[in-house]
């Protein structure tokens, strides 16, 4: 009966782990879809703005007139534009909300690839990020440009454009709120990196190393697709989505070690609890924490009671678990060390308040929060020390006690 119970506990723990990993996989794809929708929505806003501006700008007028007009538009929009500008058919600047300190000539678009593209297609174009010429610190900006329709002619009279700082894109802001180590990468149809939130300066404008392989996948990645990044060799769970407004594909990668850690920790706890419950053993304290992210190793500290025979059985059963690397009975080891941390809240006034501080000083407990009517103490030590401290605080107004459970290690140079 016990063996059947343990097997059932293993199956349930495995099912929970797999369900959580599926949920995380779906989240990776959802993140990619959310980021892509944000990117497309902002691009559509820029396109609508430029369509309106195109009918207001006069490329034949004095540039200062257009400067005044574009400055008003720049200040009135909710979108955080870096600049709004106009150019003639040769790419010469004929108006801008912000004029570069080097002068209007330095803002010539003739050498910009996105200008060549809008001249070729005659349609609204989103370009790859470039360094700003108008802003002092020359940040990365994403340029957008559209033709000014000619009167009675298919040829445009000029062009209007707008730029947004890369870090101001809503898609980038969303990506930066993801877990540490996550990355947003946007590639164009040729595999050039358009946006990347990690190591930006190094990769913008460069060909993605494995694009020839990834570019053949028309279906979105994600839902348990783990890829080792060709840029920083980090394992990430990826989701991807194709932009509807540009020929770009958006990839969002979540670091496996970070997002799977809680599920894997819960899996270990479920296994241990299932083992102990199946055998009728009692757990007094159980702590689990990752100790080596690269090796995917967690340290589990269990406090239980029993006869030497029962403790020997527990140790043998833990050794048999597939995920166990080593088991050590620290309490029986003369070099064993045990410590626990507790947070203790007491509520009192007057003499009891003074006495609580005196007891805390004796036990070397630290005050980490205080009000006129309460203290929160932090105390570290052997479990019996914490038991005694809590016992003395009880008549002094103890209202809440939170304990981490026992942590253990051995003295000397030997390691588990």
What residue ranges of the chain are covered by domains with CATH 3.30.70.1150? 281-410
The DSSP code for 201 is H
CATH 3.30.450.20 assigned to 22-34+171-255: yes
Class of domain 42-168: alpha beta
- CATH number (3.30.70.1150, 3.90.1150.10, 3.20.10.10, 3.60.20.10) of 281-410 reads 3.30.70.1150
When computed from its CA atoms, the radius of gyration of the chain, rounded to whole angstroms, is: 32
The enclosing H or E element of 298 equals: strand 297-303
- Tracing tokens 């009675």 back to the chain, one arrives at 152
Beta-strand relationship, 374-381 and 336-347: antiparallel
Q: Residue 63 is inside which H or E element, if any?
A: helix 63-76
For residues 69 and 331, what is the distance between their CA atoms, to the nearest angstrom?
79
- Give the contacts of 247 (CB within 8 A, at least 6 positions apart): 188, 189
Q: Measured between alpha carbons, how far is 265 from 359 in angstroms, rounded to an integer? A: 36
pTM over 0.85: no
Q: For residue 252, give the H/E element and its range.
A: strand 249-255
Tokens of 365: 């407990």
Q: Where in the chain is the domain with CATH 3.30.450.20?
A: 22-34+171-255, 42-168
Contact (Cβ atoms closer than 8 angstroms) between residue 142 and residue 70 = no
For every one of its 416 residues, what pLDDT tens digit does the chain have, with 9 covering 90 and above? 333 434 444 445 555 556 655 666 667 788 889 999 999 999 999 999 999 999 999 999 999 999 999 999 999 988 889 999 999 999 999 999 999 888 999 999 999 999 999 999 999 999 999 998 888 888 999 999 999 998 766 789 999 999 999 999 999 999 998 888 888 999 998 888 999 998 888 888 888 877 654 444 444 344 445 555 555 667 777 888 999 999 999 998 888 766 666 655 666 666 666 666 666 667 777 777 777 766 667 777 878 777 777 777 777 777 766 566 677 777 666 777 888 999 999 999 889 999 999 999 999 999 999 999 999 999 999 889 999 999 999 999 999 999 988 888 878 777 76
Q: CA 37, CA 243: separation in Å to the nearest integer? A: 8
Exposed (0-12), middle (13-18) or buried (19+): which is 322, by Cβ within 10 Å? exposed
């Amino acid at each position: 009966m016990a063996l059947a119970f343990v097997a059932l506990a293993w199956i349930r723990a495995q099912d929970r782990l797999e369900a959580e990993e599926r949920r995380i996989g779906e989240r990776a794809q959802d993140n990619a879809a959310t980021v892509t929708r944000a990117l497309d929505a902002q691009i559509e806003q820029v396109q609508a703005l430029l369509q309106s501006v195109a009918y207001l700008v006069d490329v034949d007028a004095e540039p200062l007139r257009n400067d005044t007009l574009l400055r008003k538009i720049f200040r009135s929009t909710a979108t955080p534009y870096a600049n709004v500008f106009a150019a003639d058919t040769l790419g010469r600047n004929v108006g801008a909300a912000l004029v570069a300190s080097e002068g209007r000539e330095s803002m010539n678009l003739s050498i910009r690839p996105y200008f060549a593209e809008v001249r070729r297609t005659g349609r609204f174009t989103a370009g790859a990020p470039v360094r700003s010429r108008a802003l002092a610190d020359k940040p990365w900006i994403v340029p957008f440009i559209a033709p000014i329709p000619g009167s009675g002619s298919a040829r445009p009279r000029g062009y209007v454009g707008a730029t947004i700082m890369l870090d101001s894109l809503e898609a980038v802001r969303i990506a930066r709120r993801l877990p540490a180590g996550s990355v947003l990468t946007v590639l164009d149809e040729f595999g050039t990196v358009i946006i990347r939130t990690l190591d930006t300066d190094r990769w913008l404008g460069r060909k993605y190393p494995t694009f020839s392989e990834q570019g053949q996948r028309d279906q979105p990645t994600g839902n348990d697709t783990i890829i080792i990044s060709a840029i920083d060799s980090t394992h990430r769970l990826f989701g991807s989505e194709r932009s509807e407004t540009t020929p770009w594909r958006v990839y969002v990668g979540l670091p496996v070690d970070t997002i799977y850690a809680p599920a894997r920790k819960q899996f270990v706890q479920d296994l241990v609890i299932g083992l102990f419950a199946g055998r009728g053993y009692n757990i007094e304290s159980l702590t689990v924490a990752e100790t080596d992210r690269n090796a995917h190793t967690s340290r589990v500290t269990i406090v239980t009671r029993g006869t030497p025979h029962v403790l020997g059985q527990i140790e043998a059963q833990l050794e048999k678990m597939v995920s166990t690397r080593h088991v050590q009975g620290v309490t029986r080891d003369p070099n064993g060390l045990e410590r626990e941390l507790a947070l203790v809240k007491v509520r009192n006034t007057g003499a009891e308040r003074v006495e609580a501080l005196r007891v805390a000083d004796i036990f070397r407990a630290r005050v980490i929060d205080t009000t006129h009517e309460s203290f929160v103490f932090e105390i570290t030590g052997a479990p019996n020390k914490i038991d005694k401290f809590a016992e003395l605080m009880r008549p002094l107004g103890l209202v809440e006690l939170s304990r981490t459970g026992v942590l253990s290690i051995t003295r000397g140079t030997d390691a588990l």
